[in-house]
Structure 1
Amino acid sequence: MSEQITVSQFIIDFLESKGITWIPGVPGGTILPLYESLARSNIEHVLARHEQGAGFMAQGRARSTGEVSAVFVSSGPGVANLITAVADAQRDSVPLLIFSGQVPLGLMGTDAFQELPTAKIVSSLVKKVYLVEEPNQIIGILEEAFWLCDEGKKGPVWIDLPKDIQTQKINLPEKNNRLGDPFHLDFLEPISKVDHLSFVSFDFFLEEFKSLLENSRFPLLYIGGGAKKEYLRLRELVSRFQIPAVTTLMGLGIFEKDDPMNLGMMGMHGTIAANEALGVCDLLIAIGVRFDDRATGAIQKFCNQAKIIHIDIDAREIGKNKPVTLSLQKDLSEVIPFLLEEDFLIQNSESLLQIEVWKEIPEEHPMKSILLDFASVLPCGEHFVLTDVGQHQMWVAQYFPFLNPMSWITSGGQGTMGFGLPTAIGVALSHRDSHVFCFTGDGSIMMNLQELSTLKEQNLNVKIILINNEHLGLVKQQQDLFYGRLYSGSKFHFHPDFSMLCQSFEIGYFEWDWKLGTTELEKVLEKKGPALIEVRIPSSWGVYPFVPGGKSNQEYILEKLVT
């Protein structure tokens, strides 16, 4: 007779078998059976102070390791509170496996206490959502859900667990038949708006790629976060063939900051060289990108002089926002070895000279020296740099010398304020011997301030660098530029004392006067454990270049600082 086990215990055993050693969450009545099994396991539970914080902690593990991460929440408000973190994961292709409690099956649809129609609410935010209505379904669901998180374009998958289902028993499956029924891949949406060359043979693609590249006079690589794992071979590609490259916000770190072929970040706050090159290139090679509006500016004006090659793992992204000349739906790891084997004859010497002219245009800003000074005193060893969302995020993106793309973590597609602190906790829990630096603003830090309790409780090596201008900086900057300096909702009229806040959380505090050098800062950074470093700056400082909405990337503003 087969051994029997509860559904909740089966879930915990499954997660242990996948190498998950800690899970963030916030319990509640409908998920307590799962927590009972969790308490008997070797998995550590990290009790967040808010479900959104728990979701971002799970993101920290997933983004820094590339592995599927799990998070537990209860029904109703627990689900609603988690949605922001899940939407963020969906947009940035982060593999999360979400387990939510649900009211018992017999109460569903009766407006029971803490009931929400979870599957209906979250279906557009995840790759797939499962409502477990029969206990034996869990066997196949877990395997399929875990696989879906990591398959193709990564992303979140949600499992909704009625409370009575969690306590029911199932027969343990045979070891040689753990998957249950075969996968049903009906989650895939029909492919639309894809250029007819997307489905050509690989050999034909390579032949056409070579022809387009060798007939180009100004080829340009457009690289995004989808290409991060191949950053070493991409560095080799640009170095060997001298093809200049621009990157998205999510692609920063793929190329070294001082690489002469690296033109830097493109888009709304991109470098002059990157945005000018996009305006005149005659061949754009897009890899691991989705042509989003913050990168392209006005899409109808984007690279209209160029033929476009698009390589992406997700066929649905190809041709979605911009028609392409040649495309290939494939993982970059399967393509780039063949490109490196080629001997391309590229005639782009004149374009390289033009790029040097653009690079000489000064883009100086006080934040550049502040961030370079900070980077110059980082402790030895592995480190991660995270940001919240706002002006501080863009300054870090523009000026920080990232070692590699895996060390750079930020909220891209959703631009979620409150992302930084809990995600940094998740990174530090996954890399306990590393240094984790989280840049935030006085607006963003308040969004998930409660997770300072979790940070202290775990005693993690996280340094929070608070760039404080007493405003919602990007909002004020747009009001300065486009709304006649009519300020509404951009200034905080009460300012908390962050030194006292840190004292109440028993976290170290240091105010860094960047004009006085880095000696004291270096001591703070070297000390183990959590700390908050406050940096006060004027609210007049803006982020430039700035491409206004609806404009092309070449219509950027280079506003001088207001003193």
Structure 2
Amino acid sequence: MSEQITVSQYIIRFLESKGITWIPGVPGGTILPLYESLAVSNIEHVLARHEQGAGFIAQGRSRSTGEVSAVFVSSGPGVANLITAVADAQRDSVPLLVFSGQVPLALMGSDAFQELPTTKIVSSIVKNVYLIQEPNQIIETLEEAYRLCGEGKIGPVWIDLPKDIQTQKITLPNRNNGSDPLIKAGTYNEHIPKGNDISLQWMELFLQEFKSILEDSKFPLLYIGGGAKKEYLRLREFVSRFNIPVVTTLMGLGIFEKDDPMNLGMMGMHGTVAANEALGVCDLLIAIGVRFDDRATGAIQKFCIQAKVIHIDIDAREIGKNKPVTLSLQKDISEILPFLLEEEFLIENKDSLLQIETWKQIPEEHPMKSILLDFASVLPMGEHFVLTDVGQHQMWVAQYFPLCQPFSWITSGGQGTMGFGLPTAIGVALSHRDSHVYCFTGDGSIMMNLQELSTLREQNLNVKIILINNEHLGLVKQQQDLFYGSLYSGSKFYFHPDFSVLCQSFEIGYFEWDWRFGVEDLGKVLEIEGPAIIELKVPSSWGVYPFVPGGKSNQEYILGQVTT
């Protein structure tokens, strides 16, 4: 016998069938029918204090679990406030399923209260956006949208729901005929298409060309990004087996262990000397899961000018977009690595490895290095996640923190969004309640989504916020020092809130860590369950080095001297 339910009830049942147990959001008039169905479901609602915060909370779940997450917002300002978080998800390939309320169909286009043309506004920052104009459309749309989130180059998908559509009824197919659309599924990874079957003949031709180019090179170098992190174990095996040095992007940190002798570290604007120097002289660059963005490559016309380029990526649009390639493969890295590991490559690169060792001897010491290593030395036992906001603190953590696993490292890469850290940490902690979550932020970034301290306290999550306070927008000041004659404008905060009092008002723990006097007390604070802010004050004169100025090659870096 068929069953009739409302569109909003169907959406909630669908999300339950996909294993979603909690959803962040901020309600409003046009999405209240969906919230009515949510209220009587098994899904917990996490009430954010701002729609941008809700979007980043959802990101925390997706980035730490690899699953599609959902977020609910209302129309108009709710949509506008969420855009930053969705744009961030699009740039870093994070699978979000966004549901926004919309004014009733009859009012659309009339400049009704809290109306925005959502589909027009968000179309460039999502994989697809759907406006539901007929109730039965929701059945096919949900399946397609969920699949699209995790298909190919993953990312956000948006569904806009007019208020009157949400309350209309649809007839579910008869469950006895095997056509029930609400079949429980696993993570989005199960939906990743395998593409065209790779014939053995075609694969042999590709591998033959790959082998020829690799064995002819004297200085091969791997360039690995976030698109390859799910295969980090096999990539480690590949590098170890063939002794090919590797550089990584910001998003690729943790794929290789920091002390791996073949790991030259992060490349680009704030990359290591060894990584950036190797890029300047390599004769073969094997790029996997990367998009040759400007922060990584520096001036693209000066990037790896002596090197042949092999580019492997799941997204055809990225291949050859910024850098011409010698050989390319549009495939998921999971499909090609088993074949590469079955091969035998004869690589003569001993001289290049010796050269790398000389670059590694160039000092890159910074007081923040010892601070972060001291912090890491007293972390409690158990699983932990390290997140950052955006600014100098982000680069210091990327440069010096001993990251050992790619999925425990979470930051805003392509969009570089200040305010990312706190709400994303909430989403991570909600998804991993037995883990320790550490969010490094600055006195600029923390203010961008400060209101989510209420959400953090309400959920009483085990999140420690490490606030590195230099009373400035640090990276802005640093560039004004380097390139604008120390003419400061808009980089200094002249009013400084008392974060200890702020924590009291939110009923959150507070500890001021004087990093000059050891870590004994810090270790005790980190052992305490629940949320807290750990503040450490550092001089505004500390910069992030190496520093590659805009428009320069990665080899034209500045090595600054930083003293305590």
TM-score (ref. length: structure 2): 0.96
Task: Indicate the SS of the match to 2:256.
Answer: coil
What residue identity is the alignment partner of 2:344?
Answer: D
Partner of 2:382: 381
What residue identity is the alignment partner of 2:313?
Answer: D
Partner of 2:215: 214
Render the CA deviation track for 1:399-455: whole Å, top value 9, x for unaligned. 001120000000000000000000000000000000000000000000000000000
Partner of 1:268: 269
Partner of 2:185: none
1:220-239 matched pairs, under 5 angstroms: 220-239=221-240
Aligned residues: 544
**Which segment drifts farther, 476-485 or 167-176?**
167-176
Task: Indicate the SS of the match to 2:373.
Answer: helix
Render the CA deviation track for 1:90-142: whole Å, top value 9, x for unaligned. 00000000000000000000000000000000000000000000000000000
Partner of 1:466: 467
What residue identity is the alignment partner of 2:480?
Answer: Q
Partner of 2:146: 146
Task: Indicate the SS of the match to 1:5.
Answer: strand
In structure 2, distance between residues paired with 1:358 and 1:271: 9
Render the CA deviation track for 1:305-343: whole Å, top value 9, x for unaligned. 000000001111100110000000001111111111111
In structure 2, distance between residues paired with 1:213 and 1:380: 42
Say whether 1:253 aligns with 2:254.
yes
Conserved 8 A contact 2:366-2:563: no
Task: Indicate the SS of the match to 1:546.
Answer: coil
In structure 1, distance between residues paired with 2:205 and 2:484: 52
Partner of 1:241: 242
In structure 2, distance between residues paired with 1:434 and 1:408: 13
In structure 2, distance between residues paired with 1:457 and 1:415: 28
Give how far 1:206 is off: 1.0
Give how far 1:2 is off: 1.6
Partner of 2:17: 17
Task: Indicate the SS of the match to 1:453.
Answer: helix
Give how far 1:383 is off: 0.3
1:143-542 matched pairs, under 5 angstroms: 143-175=143-175, 176-178=178-180, 201-542=202-543
In structure 2, distance between residues paired with 1:249 and 1:201: 33
In structure 2, distance between residues paired with 1:446 and 1:544: 25
Render the CA deviation track for 1:65-85: whole Å, top value 9, x for unaligned. 000000000000000000000
What residue identity is the alignment partner of 1:554?
Answer: Q
Render the CA deviation track for 1:480-503: whole Å, top value 9, x for unaligned. 000000000000000000000000
In structure 2, distance between residues paired with 1:561 and 1:27: 48
In structure 2, distance between residues paired with 1:179 and 1:354: 59
What residue identity is the alignment partner of 1:472?
Answer: L
Task: Indicate the SS of the match to 2:546.
Answer: coil
1:539-558 matched pairs, under 5 angstroms: 539-558=540-559
Conserved 8 A contact 2:215-2:346: yes
What residue identity is the alignment partner of 1:471?
Answer: H
Conserved 8 A contact 1:86-1:156: yes
Give how far 1:522 is off: 0.2
TM-score (ref. length: structure 1): 0.96
In structure 2, distance between residues paired with 1:260 and 1:319: 30
What residue identity is the alignment partner of 1:169?
Answer: K
In structure 2, distance between residues paired with 1:3 and 1:43: 22
In structure 2, distance between residues paired with 1:249 and 1:138: 38
In structure 1, distance between residues paired with 2:88 and 2:290: 17
In structure 2, distance between residues paired with 1:223 and 1:352: 18
Task: Indicate the SS of the match to 1:93.
Answer: coil
Conserved 8 A contact 1:436-1:462: yes
In structure 1, distance between residues paired with 2:339 and 2:552: 37
Task: Indicate the SS of the match to 1:34.
Answer: helix
In structure 1, distance between residues paired with 2:174 and 2:505: 53
Partner of 2:131: 131
In structure 2, distance between residues paired with 1:562 and 1:234: 38
Conserved 8 A contact 2:269-2:296: yes
Partner of 2:195: none
What residue identity is the alignment partner of 1:58?
Answer: A
Give how far 1:203 is off: 2.3
In structure 2, distance between residues paired with 1:174 and 1:255: 51
In structure 2, distance between residues paired with 1:305 and 1:23: 50
Task: Indicate the SS of the match to 1:177.
Answer: coil
Give how far 1:179 is off: 5.4
Conserved 8 A contact 1:139-1:178: no
In structure 2, distance between residues paired with 1:546 and 1:204: 41
What residue identity is the alignment partner of 2:424?
Answer: T
What residue identity is the alignment partner of 2:513?
Answer: W
What residue identity is the alignment partner of 1:177?
Answer: S
Conserved 8 A contact 2:97-2:156: yes
Partner of 2:45: 45
In structure 1, distance between residues paired with 2:86 and 2:171: 32
In structure 2, distance between residues paired with 1:238 and 1:281: 16
Give how far 1:174 is off: 3.8
What residue identity is the alignment partner of 2:60?
Answer: G
What residue identity is the alignment partner of 1:366?
Answer: P
In structure 2, distance between residues paired with 1:205 and 1:85: 39
What residue identity is the alignment partner of 2:254?
Answer: G
What residue identity is the alignment partner of 2:233?
Answer: L
What residue identity is the alignment partner of 1:167?
Answer: T
Render the CA deviation track for 1:145-185: whole Å, top value 9, x for unaligned. 000001111100000000000000000124433559xxxxx
Task: Indicate the SS of the match to 2:559.
Answer: coil
Partner of 2:193: none
Conserved 8 A contact 2:22-2:44: yes
Give how far 1:202 is off: 2.7
What residue identity is the alignment partner of 1:459?
Answer: N
Task: Indicate the SS of the match to 1:333.
Answer: helix
In structure 1, distance between residues paired with 2:203 and 2:303: 27
What residue identity is the alignment partner of 1:32?
Answer: L
Partner of 1:192: none
Render the CA deviation track for 1:216-239: whole Å, top value 9, x for unaligned. 100000000000000011111111
What residue identity is the alignment partner of 2:179?
Answer: N
Task: Indicate the SS of the match to 2:381.
Answer: coil
In structure 2, distance between residues paired with 1:173 and 1:295: 51
Partner of 1:184: none
Give how far 1:562 is off: 6.5
Give how far 1:559 is off: 1.6
In structure 1, distance between residues paired with 2:206 and 2:549: 36
Render the CA deviation track for 1:369-422: whole Å, top value 9, x for unaligned. 000000011110000000000000000000001120000000000000000000
In structure 1, distance between residues paired with 2:103 and 2:362: 61
Say whether 1:72 aligns with 2:79.
no
In structure 1, distance between residues paired with 2:476 and 2:412: 18
Task: Indicate the SS of the match to 2:321.
Answer: coil
